[in-house]
Amino acid sequence: MIPLPRFELHSPKTLAEAIAALAHSNGGANILAGGTDLIANIKHGVAKPERVVWLGKLPEMRAISFTPELGLRIGAMCTLNEIAASSSVQQYYPAIAEAANSVASPAIRNCATLGGNLCQDTRCFYYNQSEFWRSALGGCIKARILPASNGAICHATPGLAKCAAVFCSDLAPLLIALSASVKLMNQRGERTIDLAELYRDDGANHLTLQPGEIVTEVSIPTAEPNQFSVYKKLRDRRSIDFALVNVGLNIVLDSELTCRHAKIVIGAVQSIPVEIQTAEAIFVNHRLTTELIGRVAEEAASAVTPVPNVDEPVGYRKRMVRVLVERALSEIWSRASKKSTS
C-alpha cells in the first residue's frame, strides 16, 4: 500500500467556506470531490498539494433537477451512479446516463463525481508513473522538470513545444455536443461559460479555471422534439480502463430525416475534446443515408490526430474514430427511422 504524504485537509460545510479555503491557499490547494483520480495522483507524486479542500459536505452541489424551461441541471458533486440512476436523466437525456454508466467500475462510479470527471487531469504513458520512473526520463513539460540541455520536452511528441497529455473525461464530449454550460464560483463571484470553454489545448494546463474557482453546476438545454444524442466509447477492457476514443453526438433531424443541426465531439485523442466541424458541415441540410453516414465518419477520422501516449497505436485509434462515429450515426438513423414511421 502506498502511503499518502502529509497535507492540510479542509472539510467546509458551505460553498462560501470552500471558496474561502481555496482563496487563502496561495495556489497550493487541490479540490477533492470523489477522490478516485486525485488520491491516486497524490500517492504517485503526480499531484503535491499543500492543502486539499474536500467538497463532500456541500448538499447544495448534490441536486439534479429538470424543467422544460431550464432544461437539466446537475450539481457538480453528484456521483456518476446518481446521474445514471436519475429518472430525469434517463427520461430526457438517456445518452448522459449511458456515458456516466460507462466510467470505470460500480465502486468507482459510487464515488466519482460529475465535477471531478469534467476536471479530471490529462494522462500520459510517460507521466502517470512513479516519481522514480518519471525522473529516469529526465522530466517533461507536464512534470515541470525541464532538462537544461533540452528545454521544453514532450516525450510523446518530441517535436512539439507543449504537453500532449490526453484528455480523459468521459462525460465532457457528450455534454459539449449537447451544448452544456458550467457554473463557476470563486471569491470574485459567479460566472457561467460553455463547457467547451473550460478546456484549452495544453495537456499540462488544460483547464481554464481562474484561481480558486469551483465548478458548482452543469446545465443542459431542453432537447428539441427530433433531437437524438448518442455516446460511444472504446477501451481495452469493459471496466476500469480509460477510453482510447470516445464520441459524443447530438443531431436534430426533421420529419424527412434531413439534418438541421449536428455536433460531433471526439475525446481521448488529444489534450482537448475535439469538435469535428468539417464533418458536421457535411451533415447539415442533407438527408441521413448510409452513404452520408460513411462520408461523415471518414471525415471525422481524417480530422483527428491521436497522440501516441496511450497503449494502443495511433493508426488503430484513428480507425476506431471512424468506426464509433459510424456506429453512433447508424444508431441515430435506426431510431429516427422508427420514430418517423410510428
Question: Residue 144: what pLDDT?
Answer: 73
Question: Residue 146: what pLDDT?
Answer: 55
Question: Residue 149: what pLDDT?
Answer: 42
Q: Is the model's pTM score more than 0.85?
A: yes
CB 143 within 8 A of CB 91: no
- List, in order, residues 6 or more apart from 167 with CB less than 8 Å away: 122, 199, 203, 206, 267, 268, 269, 270, 271, 272, 273
Question: Residue 63: what pLDDT?
Answer: 96
Question: Residue 342: what pLDDT?
Answer: 64
Starting at the edge strand that comes first in sequence, how are the strands of the sheet with 64-67 ordered? 64-67, 71-75, 214-220, 181-186, 189-194
Three cell numbers, residue 39 = 488520491
Chunked in runs of 10, what are the mean pLDDT values of the chain (342 residues)?
Answer: 89 96 87 94 89 95 96 98 98 97 94 97 90 79 62 79 92 98 97 98 95 97 96 88 95 94 97 97 94 97 93 94 98 90 68
Q: Using DSSP bridges, classify how beta strands 51-54 and 71-75 pair: parallel, antiparallel or unpaired.
A: unpaired
Domains and CATH numbers, the chain: 1-55 (3.30.43.10), 124-164 (no CATH), 227-337 (3.30.390.50)
